[in-house]
Amino acid sequence: MNKLGRLVAIAGCTIPLLGGASAPNSDAPILEAMKDELARTTKDLRLPSAGAPYYVGYWVVDETVRDIEATLGALVSDVVDRDRFVRTELRVGSRAFDNSNFSGVTADGDVEGDTEAGAPSDAALDDDVSALRRELWLASDAAYKDGVEALERKRAAKESEVTPHTEVPSFSDERSATLTVKDEPVQDGPDPADLARHVSAVFRGFPEVDKSSVHVLQSTARRRFIASDGGLVVEPSRLAAMEITCETQADDGMSVERSAFVASKNGGPLPEDVAIDEARRVARDLVALKNAPIAEDHSGPVLFEGRAAAELAYELLGDSLSGTPAPEGNDELESALSHKLGKHVMPSGFSVVDDPGLTVFDGVPLLGHYAVDDEGIAAERVTLVDDGRLKGFLMSRAPRQGVDHSNGHGRSGLVGWARGKPANLVVTTKNGLSKKALRERLLEAVREQDADYGIVVTDLEPRTTASSGDMVPTPELLYKVTPDGKQTLLRGGELASLSVRDLRDILAAGHDAAVYSFVSESDGGLDTAVSVVAPALLFEDLDVRAPTGPNKKPPLVPRPTVPAAK
């Protein structure tokens, strides 16, 4: 949760856009330092053998994070952390061909990752203009030298290739945004440490649970951006969230886990009653899992309901809808849908949009909202799939063939060149069925295949990265449903790999939708807050595998007796 807190505070969860482009007085010294050093960098920074940078962007981000952990009603930690980061995006060459979006080999023989660009550095917390200018000066100097070297390697690599496709520019020709987001007050709630104690105390009444933890996170952040093309943005953000986890072992040693996530709208007070209900729910689920029979190898219809459907939608679509071209020299990162524009990628009736402006869905807070992306471009609502056909991509400022401009979805957190990433991804269908009708359709498919049973998955193990289906998250709650409608909880089942192509074979979908919120992470530092909304999804034929491998022995002595919470 420590990692989650920092990334969400930086990458998203902003409040609605209000007002114009003037900055509050509290930002004045920081913006002064940024403007002064930007002017020096664009005027004077150059090597005799290379030109000046044609584009420079500065981010200065402040964040304060309070991270609390409790277990069984007792506080484990309560840490407050305050940081300030400086990030520089500096481009050399020209818009047609620059140092960005390239993976190659350095002069020392090391592999250079595209995401190494723009690494953040710490800056003084005091609003000292001289101290901040020094940090921006050092960051700019390092970024320029790295950029010149990367451009030379990229140019050399390009000259050694025979290019079979039309070249596209490195950087879109558009101006950064100029706006300020108003920081609205949030009503104070109960002490989050007390909240963590109260919710974690729920597990005192469940002796079958071996381990349990409640993390409560409160964070505030302020992003300031200026660019050599005139962009100037000040955007605050705020988050309050809780992660509830519990785990135990079955008698045969198999480990089973359950989790829940609770967030508030725009960083307001967390709903204690909802959090306590969620803790009780996952504790009851865990006890049932501990005593459930083990899943067997099975092939047949599988229905994803609730959070599992939304998480699966992200797993298959999250990276596939990115329009950012793969870095030069790293073609395996090319989107699975990159050449499918205008073609059917889902059944008729399905639509997919991404809207960073949404803050809630059906009363549930969405975490992926922001006003300006990590390249200084105002966020836009984008239609990605319409009536089953692919209509667009999530675009950063790196153009691709046929798509010249960003739509405000260039996201990187604080590290690396931005790539097109989801914010609030919403999947809908015109032909949704009620939950009862969808279960009946599942059983109809079971009978048509003369199968013994179908599978219903309601929760997948939380995961912060997408593999495009290569490694589907492990189900936390998986049921077999026999033709007579009887439902039996199973443990240990795993799903075989899927791909975005499997979305074309959706047999039916639900009318109601569920929300899954999380922070997307990767080794390259593409860390961003995301929410996904999707209806239940029924697939005609998927594979479920029985668990493999040995289990550790359960504890030799039962958990110490703990009086139930009052």
Q: What is the pLDDT of residue 416?
A: 76
The pTM assigned to this predicted structure is 0.89
The span from the CA of 355 to the CA of 350, in Å, is 16
Q: What is the pLDDT of residue 329?
A: 64
Tell me the average pLDDT across 218-233: 94
Candidates 49, 376, 405; CA nearest to 228 is: 376
Could you report the per-residue pLDDT of 412-429, keeping only the tens digit for each? 876 778 889 999 999 999
The span from the CA of 369 to the CA of 238, in Å, is 11
Candidates 353, 407, 351, 411; CA nearest to 380 is: 407
Q: What is the pLDDT of residue 464?
A: 66
Residue 456's alpha-carbon distances to 408, 481, 490, 560, in angstroms, are 37, 7, 10, 35
**pLDDT(523) > 70:** no
The span from the CA of 68 to the CA of 20, in Å, is 36
Q: What are the backbone angles phi and psi of residue 512, rounded to the nearest 5°?
A: -85, 155
Candidates 498, 532, 312; CA nearest to 422 is: 532
Query: Residue 126 CB: number of other CB atoms within 10 A?
Result: 10
Quick one: tokens of 156? 């050399």
* Residue whose tokens read 């046929």: 402
Cβ(146)–Cβ(89) below 8 Å: no
- Specify the CATH number of the domain 2-290: 3.30.2290.10
Candidates 81, 58, 107; CA nearest to 2 is: 81
Using DSSP bridges, classify how beta strands 389-390 and 382-386 pair: parallel, antiparallel or unpaired. Answer: antiparallel
**pLDDT(7) > 80:** no
The span from the CA of 445 to the CA of 11, in Å, is 42
Beta bridge partners of 425: 354, 532
**pLDDT(534) > 90:** yes
Quick one: tokens of 367? 């975490």
Which residue has better confidence, 214 or 9?
214
- CB-based burial, 305-317: b 16+ in 10 Å, e otherwise: bbbbbbbbbbbbb
Q: What is the pLDDT of residue 472?
A: 86
Quick one: tokens of 484? 């007579």
Tell me the average pLDDT across 510-536: 78
Quick one: tokens of 360? 């809630």
The span from the CA of 124 to the CA of 144, in Å, is 22
Radius of gyration in angstroms for the set of CA atoms belonging to the chain, rounded to a whole number:
25
DSSP state of 372: B
Read off the pLDDT band of 326 (50, 70, 90): confident
Q: Say which amino acid occupies 100.
A: S
Q: What is the pLDDT of residue 387?
A: 97
The span from the CA of 497 to the CA of 304, in Å, is 15
Tell me the average pLDDT across 174-185: 90
Residue 257 three-state SS: strand
Residues contacting 512, CB < 8 A, separation 6+? 432, 435, 535, 536
Q: pLDDT averaged over the chain?
A: 88
Candidates 316, 390, 320, 395; CA nearest to 351 is: 390
The span from the CA of 231 to the CA of 209, in Å, is 53
**pLDDT(245) > 70:** yes
Quick one: tokens of 300? 């047949």
Q: Taking the domains of the chain in order of start, what are their residue ranges?
A: 2-290, 298-326+336-545
The span from the CA of 475 to the CA of 495, in Å, is 8
Quick one: tokens of 126? 């005091």
Q: What are the backbone angles phi and psi of residue 211, rounded to the nearest 5°?
A: -135, 145
Cβ(482)–Cβ(442) below 8 Å: no
Query: C-alpha angle with apex 224: 220 to 229, nearest 5 degrees?
Result: 155
Q: What is the pLDDT of residue 109?
A: 44
Residues contacting 346, CB < 8 A, separation 6+? 352, 385, 388, 503, 504, 506
Cβ(9)–Cβ(239) below 8 Å: yes
**pLDDT(525) > 50:** no
DSSP state of 373: -
For the chain, percent of residues with pLDDT exceeding 90: 70
- For 152-210, where are the E strands, in sequence order? 178-180
Q: What is the pLDDT of residue 471?
A: 79
Candidates 462, 464, 453, 465; CA nearest to 544 is: 453
Tell me the average pLDDT across 552-556: 83
Cβ(424)–Cβ(531) below 8 Å: yes
* Residue whose tokens read 């660009």: 117
Q: What is the pLDDT of residue 107?
A: 45
Residue 387 three-state SS: coil
Please, is 319 exposed, middle or buried when counting C-beta atoms within 10 Å of its C-beta (0-12, 13-18, 19+)?
Answer: buried
DSSP secondary structure string for all residues of 388-399: TEE---B--SS-
The span from the CA of 164 to the CA of 184, in Å, is 52
- pLDDT-wise least confident of 44-48, 310-314, 492-496, 522-526: 522-526
Candidates 50, 43, 78; CA nearest to 218 is: 78
Q: What share of the chain is helix, strand, coil (3-state, %, to 5)?
A: 25, 35, 45
Could you report the per-residue pLDDT of 427-439, keeping only the tens digit for each? 999 999 999 999 9
Handedness of CA 372, 373, 374, 376 (dihedral sign): negative
Quick one: tokens of 430? 């015109």
Distance between terminal CA atoms of the chain?
Answer: 28
